[in-house]
Amino acid sequence: MYKQKFEYFLNAVHYCMWLFERKFGFFIGKIVDFFLAPIPKFLFTKNMKKRYYDNMRKSQPQLDDLFYGKKSGFSIGLAHHNFGAFYSIYPCIFSFVIEGLYIKFNGEMNTFVILVIFAIPVGICYIPAYKAVFSNDKYLQYFKLFEKEDEHWHKKWKRITTAFILGAIASIIFGVYLCFTILDVKVRFPWM
């Protein structure tokens, strides 16, 4: 039961990130089209214009799949990356605490040890997320399910995804704070 809820949650967050990347891609595409549209319109001969627009019409489905495809498109690649990055930030709290304790008791900073301190918790915690979302392309099955949901569901999960991202940012700030607290480092900001 818990595994299914965890899997559903992660796939819904990943789906909302993909929707955002698609919308952002459409927006950037319109800006690029606005600036590049005058080139064939004013600089091409009549025959070149005809060939250009015919080729664009024929290649549009391939371009859409390249940029917005679910399996291997540019937007799904960015969604994979962003999901992995934000999910991996959460275990950094443990890494910062362990790092602070290591520096406090050893008094030195060995770069290799610091990297291992960050890599092990992030790697261990990322395994369940990978199995829930990416193994056997489970996200594609969930995407089909989520596309059938109504607008209320989409708004709800957009808010949850935003909270997930803000929580990741807050957790890294909290992790740095804990590390500084363990090391008894006083940070003074100019406005304080």
Per-residue model confidence as pLDDT tens digits over 17-29: 999 999 998 898 8
Cα gap 88→120, rounded to integer Å: 11
The closest alpha carbon to 143, from 27, 15, 36, 32, belongs to 15
Average pLDDT for residues 1-12, to the nearest whole number?
88
The pLDDT of residue 2 is 78
pTM attached to this predicted model: 0.84
Phi, psi of 117 (to 5 degrees): -60, -35
Residues 153-174 pLDDT 10s = 999 999 999 999 999 999 999 9
Q: Where do the domains of the chain lie?
A: 2-18+69-182
Cα gap 72→134, rounded to integer Å: 13
Residues 130-143 pLDDT 10s = 999 988 889 999 99
- Mean residue pLDDT of the chain comes to 88
Residues 75-113 pLDDT 10s = 888 999 999 999 999 998 999 999 989 888 888 778 888
Residues 72-81 pLDDT 10s = 888 888 999 9
11 vs 70: which has the higher pLDDT: 11
The pLDDT of residue 191 is 65
- On the 0-12 / 13-18 / 19+ scale of CB atoms within 10 A, 40 is middle
Least confident residue range of 68-77, 111-120, 160-169, 176-185: 68-77
The pLDDT of residue 158 is 96
Is residue 180's pLDDT more than 60?
Answer: yes
